[in-house]
Amino acid sequence: MDYKKFDLFNPTEEHQALRETVSKFSREEIAPQANAFDDAEKFNLELYRKLIGELGLLGITIPEKDGGIGLDAIACVIVHEEMSRFDPGFAISYLAHEVLFVNNFYYASNPAQREKYLPKLLNGEFMGGVAMTEPEAGTDVLGMQTTAVRQGDTFILNGTKQFITNGPEADVFIVYAKPDRNRKEISTFVVEKNFPGFSVGKKEIKMGMKASSTSCLVMEDCEVPAENLLGEEGKGLIHMMRNLEIERVALGAQSIGIALQCVDIMSRYAINERSAFGQKLIAFGQIQQLIAEAYAQTAAARALIYLVAKDISPEVRNSLGASSAKLVATTTAEKVARNAIQVLGGYGYSREYNVERLLRDAILLSIGGGTNEAMQKNITADLKRIYQV
């Protein structure tokens, strides 16, 4: 390998071009609208359509032969990092469609299912979401109570899903359900919002990620055609766990975007804008510590995210790496955003510099896609398998 040419964060010219394109769009289109849609607690569907129309940024990990962009997990990381510098709420709704639905659907579906749904998912006609969490079952996915009972050529689904990103806007969902509540098997279905017995519940009022809509989904004798079963009945856990790995590095990438932006804001403020006792703020040791630690921790977490993403694909599992990367990145984002508020003082606590919004948004990332406590459990379980004699 020619190490002089090696770039961990932009390994190919395609990755570099993708970063430049998404960065430009994020600065010019995503940044200006972020506070307004956070205040309105509303997803900017018009901007989402513009993202698709101008950038064609759907199907990043889908092969070109099937209408996708044909890139990899690193490309996915680049997109979510760049968007999340300015509006993590908008980015997480994009993630729910692009990673949670499209990537998951493609690698679990058969040719007929792809022919039916994929074109609409890639041209923006359909927006997707994933329904896994329930009112009493989050990290404990095997504790879910939603059932799917087959009756001839139809599955009848009953249950409620909670905290579903894109719930109010999505046209189609991947829904996980069990053949029987007392069994451990999970099946995976594609459920359209207009299927009989399906309804969208109340929109949640949240602390952060307010520009992303979240709601519950209710299925009361919901009729789903048997042809909408993804893979084999009772084998959905395989799809779920495989997709969780790319989801976790994408959520980690969102955390890195938040941290990078916070480092940028606090550095510019302390070095160029604010003075105290006749000196720029950066002259004070306490401020130096807050900024230096934020920069170093962000750089380390970012390197880990990209190293893990490099080794994630539908054929390659990396549970240990994905859990570790998400744990480190999400923890870093919260710490760095909190440092930024401290450096900016009253301005950090107010809306002017956006760091308070970035902190609020960062907190969700240590919960979604598996809590940080679950990541710790996953890491130790994987290490036990490696080291146990």
Is residue 156 classed as helix, strand or coil in its secondary structure? strand
Contact 131, 263 (CB under 8 A): no
The DSSP H or E segment spanning 73 is helix 73-84
* Residues contacting residue 242 through CB under 8 Å, at least 6 positions apart: 107, 314, 317
- Residue 165: name the closest of 196, 206, 195, 197 by CA: 206
How would DSSP label each residue in 190-231? EEETTSTTEEEEEEPP-SS-TTS-EEEEEEEEEEEEGGGEES
Catalytic residue among 169, 247, 334, 356: 247
Contact 332, 255 (CB under 8 A): yes
Residues 377, 367: Cα–Cα separation, whole Å: 14
What are the phi and psi torsion angles at 152 (to 5°)? 65, -120
- Residue 256: name the closest of 208, 318, 298, 201 by CA: 298
Q: Which residue has the tokens 């709601």?
A: 215
State yes or no: is 247 an active-site residue: yes
CA geometry: angle 210, 212, 217, nearest 5 deg? 115
The DSSP H or E segment spanning 81 is helix 73-84
Q: Tell me how many helices (H) and strands (E) the chain has.
A: 13, 10
Residue 109 is encoded by which pair of tokens?
């579906």
Active-site amino acid positions: 247
